[in-house]
Each structure stands twice: as structure tokens, then as C-alpha cells.
A and B are shown apart, each in its own frame.
Chain A
Amino acid sequence: MTERRPVAEFVAEATEIVEGLSRELLGLDERRGEEPDPERLNAIFRAAHSLKGLASLFGHDRIARLAHVLEDALDALRLGKVAADDALIDAFIDGVDVLSGLLAMASRGETDGPAAERALALAQHIETLVAPAPEKPPALHELGVDKAVLNVLTEYEEHRLRENVKKGVALYMVRAVFSLEDFDQKLTALNAALKPLAEVVSTLPSAQASDEARIAFDLLVACRQPAADLEAVIRPFGATHALLSASVAPRPSAPVPVPVTAGPTAEVSLKSLSQTVRVDIARLDRLMAAVGDLLLTRTNIKRFAEGARAAGGGLHPMWAQELSREARALERKLDDLQKGILEVRMVPLGQVFDRLARLVRRLLRESGKEIDFEISGGDVELDKLIVEELSDPLMHLLRNAIDHGIEAPDKRASKGKPRRGRIRLRAANSGNHVVIEVGDDGAGMDDDRIRDEAVSRGLLTTKKAADLQRTDLLNLVFLPGFSTRRQVSELSGRGVGLDVVKTNLGRLSGLIDIVSERGQGTTFVLTLPLTLAIIRALVVQSAGRTYAVPMSSVLEIVAVRPSELRTVEHRQMLSVRGQTVPFVRLSQLFKLPETPVDLHYVVLVGLAQHRLGIAVDHLLGQQDVVTKPLSARLRDVPGLAGATDLGDRRAVLVLDVPALVSEIVRPQASP
């Protein structure tokens, strides 16, 4: 299909615009009730405008139409024709959602769907919101500004001028004269310098220049600070200022009929401002696979070089030395290459956090609870594929916090807590992992209710439930179908629960832990590897067979004597610093010939909140590996994630730690 490429490009570019739009809208949303920042409104307006243009170009009429309506509404907003009230901001935020929906449809090549209907309804809704035409504004010269100036102002500039006059902000005309060579930089610098204390309503090039090599500008400035401050700022630029009033002398120059915005920026280069390229992640996967193969060649060459040195044999010693040196150089360069590709795959979590923030704000409005939402660590980077897979689990946890975590305002007040609840989404780097926390300062998890629920659902017996410690009890919420919420909530949906979160995280080799204090709140702590493209594996041997265990799930390795094992309810257990951990011998699990040993090497693995000790006969070392999937024919064989090549062209099986953990540790789910 020849259509595919343009669609993918359109979707990629439009998504970027919508994400930018969304960010600015959230800024607007956070400052509801305040006078919107004109810069921000302009940014939103421009984004809607670009999207409209882009969508029409590619023939996506629905997106173009919605963008057009948004653009009109934003124009009305920045011209002060309508107020930035809640209804309008909500409609804008919905607009971003619908646009995302439409883009998703476009990327799948669909022409019909719920998003399309919503788009139509929303467009009409926004139109009615901005429809009532305000009464004719008073003529500007009545505000005490000279007519000659007014003639060259655009509608928007007029509006800003009027706003400032209404607020009683003093107006000045600042005259600056710059050399033709660098006037653009100077003017930009002057604008930047003015920004903290004043709004530049308009910049007018003046015909009255003192000589040919120079150009003069008149800046219509609304200054919130005393004239002395303005003077201090503009003096370094050699500019002068005059207070504007009704009695001010007419501008000596004839108004120049040049559109103001086209003035100093008219000569801008057509070269793209952006120095970035967009790359399909599949291409990076292919590059990574090539690097994986090269790593194997490197391992072989290294061994070859070492062998050549050891054997001596027919080779000249110089030759062997040279080979070793080259092998080391190759190794270093390959490490650089591997790191480079991994870096390219990394994207900031902010990409998904922004989307979540949008959703949370909508949910907050619907929930009627008073909650502050804080985000930090959006700049922490993770593999693009992991970031994408994270959005659903995080969304679920946030919904849970809003819906189950934070109490109603009155209840909070009665507990002596502030009425406003707080939800935090935080990310931070921690060695080779990223830790993401979703926390609330709500009621915390209720042991008794979890216990009752688990028993009533037949997940465990009353006696077992009574024996469970708090940590184990909390972990019951990850069982399929578990929910302590009695009434089905609009927000959290039905059926899907924390078990889905856990499964999704397991697929990403992630861990999840719960920290919950009664009355203090609940925090879910997610620990994730940086990437899955190339993994570090622990190479082990059991009954003479070699296996690879992904290091990301290995917590530690302990040596244990068989006599230190205990048997609890027919299961062998191991004690690691006071924690009891299920134990299994890999050879026994895999039905391989078992030989008695004096010492077990136990690889302690962790998946989500579960721990498991896997005993092996030997530890062979660590290696970076690319995992290849096993044939679809072997889908039913449990406990294996794939196979890899450690450099000797044999297939070495990679253990599927999540599957092994759920096989062995399987919580007391069976009655």
C-alpha cells in the first residue's frame, strides 16, 4: 500500500502537535480562574492552527474540522470575546482526547468509530460556547491612545491594548534604534528584557531612521512597573521611552503599512528548526539484533585470540598479540555502539505522564473529590517500548488512587486531615532500573476488608487468612478478580483489576510492591529495567544443561546447605534474612537427572512482589544476550522465554522468570 507512509508520517507529526497542545492546555487548566497567560493562549492557538493545516493537507477532514473549531474558539478567547470559563477549558481538554482518538483511528486506517461521533458533538458544543457575540467594544481612541498608532494595530493587538488600559497599566512608546546587521537579535533581546515587567503590545518599524545603516522601532509597551524600572531595562539597548497619553504628540512618522508580525522576522531561513529525525522503533530493533549478532562474533574472536595466545602453535607470538589487541578494540567499540543504540531508544517518561495528567484531570472533575495531582520525574528516560506499555498500568493505578484511595473531603476532615487529598506520580533512576511511584495520602488498605473479601471469594480459608501477615495480605489484591470496592465505580471500571497491572508489569520484567499505612495512604512502587532489547543474563548450569536467567529479575545469589531448607506444607522453603522464600531445584522442576549436592547455589529472583529461590548446580557468569522467541510450536511448554546464543552456536534456553514464579509461588488461590 502506497498510502501507509504518508499516514504514518501524518500521525507522527499530528501526535506531536496534539501533545504540545495538551501540555499547554494543562498549564491553562492548572490556573483555572486566573487570567490566562496570553503567551500560553497564543501557543495553543498556534498548535490548533498548525493541526488544522496539516490535517487538511492530508485530507483528514474530521480532524481539520475539530481543529478549526478549536482555533476559532481560541481566537475568540485571546481576543477577549469570550471568557476562559470552566466549560470552555473542559471542552478544550475533551478536544485533545477526541483528537487523540481520531489520530488513533487514522493510524489504523479506520473511518468510523466512537471518536468520530464525539468529534462532531464536541465541535458543535464548542461552537455554542463561543457563539454569543459580545457587544461592540468601545473605540480605542476613547482609551486615550493616538489614532495614528491604532491604525496599524491588528485586532489582537488592539484587544491587548484595551485590556491593559482597562487595568490601568501605563502605556509607553519605547523607541530603539539598531544597526541593520543585527537588529533582529537586538530586538529579540530587548523583548526578552522587557518581558518580566511589561507586555509588548506591538512592535512598529519606524521609517524615520537616523541613517541608512540603522533601523528604528517603536514598541508599544504596557508596563506594570514604575517608569524608572523601564528606563533601567531599556537603557543598555540605547532605547528611549515616552509615556503615552491622549495628549501625546502624534507620531512623527507616517504609519508603515507593514504587517507587524512580518516585520523583523520576515527574513527567517526556511531550513527546519528541528535537528531531530523520527525513526520507526522496528528499525532500531533490527539494528539492535545486528549488534546482538556482532556481540557473539566478538565473543568468538576474543576466545579465538586467547586460544591463539595460549596454544602458541604455528602462530607468530606478535600475531597473537596483535589479534588480542584488535579484539579488545572491537569490544570497546561494540560497547559504544550498543550503548548508542540503547540511548536512541530511550524516551522521557514525560511522554506518557502528559497523557496521564490529562486523564487524571478529567477523572478528578468527574469524581467530585478535591485532589491535588503532582507529577515529577518526567525527564527520566526508559526504552520507548516500555514507556508505551506503561501507560495502561499507570492509568489503572491512578484511577485506583482517585477512586479507592482518597476519601471524600468530609471524611478526611473528620480524621483531621486536610480536605484536599494528594496523589503523586513520581519517577526516579535507581541504578539499572527506574522506580515509578504512584502514591496517595488516602485511607490506606484495610487488612480486615481484604481478608473478608479473599475469604468470601473462596481465595483462601478463614484460618489461612487469619495467619497471613500484612505484606502477604496486601499482595492478595493482585489476584485475578479481586476487588474490595463494593459498589462498582464509574471510574475504575469492572472486571479488570490489579491483576492486569501485575501481568503487564511482569511482561516488562518489572516488580511491583505495595507500601500502605492505615490512615496514611497507599503507594505502589514499580521497578522496571531500562530496556528489554538486549538483556544481561546470568548463565547457569543444572544437571549439565546451560540456561540463561535475565539479570533484571535476579535479586541476589545465595549459597545454601540442603540441611538449611525447611518443608512447609509440602513445599521447600528457604530463609533469606528472616524472609521465607519458596525454593525449587531447577533440575527437579525440569525433570532432569538430579544428583545430591553439598551446597545449593540459589538464584533469588523477584517478580512483582513475589520472591523465589531457584537452585542450580553451577554459576557460569554473566553475558549480554538478545533473546529469540521459541517456535510457536513450543508455546505450551512452560517456563521458557526463548533461546539465545552465547557464542558457540548452540541454542541456550532463557528462563521465563514470571512464568516460573507464578507456577511455583502461585498464591493460595486454589481452595
Chain B
Amino acid sequence: MSTFEQLIDQFLYRPDEPGLPSLQWLADAPRPESTGVEAPQEFLAFSLTDETYAVPIATVREIVKVPVITEVPRAPKELLGVMNLRGEVLPVYDVRARLLLAGGVQPITGPGDVPAQARIVLVKSESGDAGIITDGVEGVVRLLPSLTEPPPPGGTEKPFLAGLSRRGERLYILLDVEKVLE
């Protein structure tokens, strides 16, 4: 890449532009016939380490590619840093350590530190919108409340678990966004 090409690339690059799973298809997709039995709820599923998590679609604001993240000195270790999204400064969290997944918090300062599929799920929240780094977004899933189990015992240890839900063979761990970011 010549300096010039790099400059053009840098100038035109929008962290959230290319290759995003658009949520628009959701609005366009045919709704399942109302059977009167049970309406499924919509979740955004994403992977962290080797598990699949899901958060209610209503809490998701946006999904963005991993931009340059500025580390914030003396902040809690789950905070990877802040990102600049179209002029707005937003905190980005790595919740793996909280979920007691292997790996802990690795410093991530930009797109170079993560695999290409990694995305930041930007969630809406009372105490300020925030990004959660994920290993990849799987898409929107419809889960039936009747197939959702309450969180396993030991809930005091993991208050951010909202439940477990199955769809066919797959198991989704439902997260309480507010609590996981506390």
C-alpha cells in the first residue's frame, strides 16, 4: 500500500461501515403466523470464547466492527477503553472475566488485536450506552419463553444471568445487560 492509498483508506474508513450484519432484514422478514399459542422473543446471539450468549434485541443499539480503542488509565480492568463512534465517546467492555470464561481480559487496542469476525455489540443502558466486545455476532434468534429456563442455582454469584434457552440443538445463555455492565 502506498502512503497515498493508506491516506485515502484512512480518510474513507468508517469503523462501522463494511460487512455488518444488518438488522433491517428483521423488519422485512415475514412474521410467523400468530398461532395464538406463544409469541417467540427476539434476541441477538453472539459468541464469547466457546459459548453463545444472547441479549434482548430491544437493548441493542448497533453492531460495529472493532475500531481503535483508547485505553483509559486507572479504570476497572473490564473496561477495554473508549471508542469514538461518529463523534460520540463510548466505553467498551470485555465481560469475559465477569462471566468466568477462560482467557480473562486481554488488552485490545484496535482491529489488529482481534480476529476479523470480532464485533462490538453496542447496548442501550440507563447508566450510559456501552459496547461489549464479542468474538462474533451470530444473528437474531427467536426464542420461546416456554423453552427458557431460569438461571442455574448459584445466581447470587452470577446475577447477570437471565436464563438459559434452547432452540433445537443450540443452547443460548441469556444476559441481563444492565447487570453485566455494573
A positions within 8 Å CB-CB of B: 293, 300, 303-304, 307-308, 310-315, 545, 589-592, 628-634, 637-640, 642-643, 645, 648-653
Contact = CB atoms under 8 A, between A and B. Distances in A.
Given A311-B4, A592-B73, A648-B10, 6 more contacts: A293-B87, A315-B4, A630-B89, A639-B73, A645-B84, A649-B84
Contact of A303 (B5, B7, B67, B81): B7
Given A591-B74, A633-B128, A311 B2 contact: yes
B119 to A, nearest CB: 18
A385 B68 CA distance: 34
Given A629-B89, A630-B82, A637 B11 contact: no
Contacts of B62: none
A628 B84 CA distance: 10
B91 interface: yes
Contacts of A639: 73-74
B89 A642 contact: yes
The list of the 9 closest CB pairs from A to B, nearest first, reads: A311-B4, A590-B73, A307-B7, A651-B84, A631-B128, A643-B89, A632-B128, A651-B70, A650-B68
B3 interface: yes
A498 B75 CA distance: 32
A293 B15 CA distance: 17
Contact of A590 (B7, B67, B74, B82): B74
Contacts of A312: 4
A649 B72 contact: no
Contacts of A637: 72-75
B85 to A, nearest CB: 9
Contacts of B130: 631, 633
Given A310-B3, A313-B2, A653-B70, A633 B84 contact: no
A653 B89 CA distance: 10
A330 B89 CA distance: 27
A628 B91 contact: no
A628 B67 contact: no
A541 to B, nearest CB: 13
A592 B81 CA distance: 14
B72 A653 contact: yes
Contacts of A303: 7
Contacts of A592: 73
A628 B87 contact: yes
B73 to A, nearest CB: 3
A540 to B, nearest CB: 14
A311 B84 contact: no
B90 interface: yes
B88 interface: yes
B79 interface: yes
14 contacts: A303-B7, A312-B4, A313-B5, A315-B4, A628-B89, A629-B89, A631-B128, A637-B75, A640-B72, A650-B84, A651-B82, A651-B83, A651-B89, A653-B82
Contacts of B128: 631-633
B8 to A, nearest CB: 8
A637 B75 CA distance: 6
Nearest to A310: B3
Given A648-B10, A651-B83, A651-B89, A591 B73 contact: yes
Interface in B126-171: 127-130
Interface in B94-149: 127-130
SS of B interface (majority): mixed
A303 B11 CA distance: 9
Interface in B53-83: 67-68, 70-75, 79, 81-83
Contacts of A633: 91, 127-128, 130, 181
Interface residues of B, number: 33
A643 B70 contact: yes
A601 B135 CA distance: 41
Nearest to B182: A633
Nearest to A305: B7
A640 B82 CA distance: 12
A304 to B, nearest CB: 6
Contacts of B4: 307-308, 310-315
A359 to B, nearest CB: 40
Nearest to B67: A649
A633 B89 CA distance: 12
A501 B74 CA distance: 29
B87 A307 contact: no
Given A630-B89, A643-B84, A650 B70 contact: yes
A628 B89 CA distance: 7
Nearest to A637: B75
B15 A643 contact: no
Interface string B171-182: 000000000010
B61 to A, nearest CB: 13
Contacts of A313: 2, 4-5
Interface in B4-36: 4-5, 7-8, 10-11, 13, 15
A315 B130 CA distance: 42
Nearest to B4: A311
Contacts of B79: 634
A302 to B, nearest CB: 11
Given A637-B75, A651-B82, A311 B3 contact: yes
A633 B67 CA distance: 20
Contacts of B72: 630, 634, 637, 640, 653
Contacts of B87: 293, 628, 645
Contacts of A300: 11
Nearest to A543: B73
A404 to B, nearest CB: 40
Nearest to B69: A651
Given A304-B7, A311-B2, A628-B88, A652 B70 contact: yes
Interface centre among A304, A631, A650 (most CB of B within 10 A): A631
Contacts of A634: 72, 75, 79, 82, 91
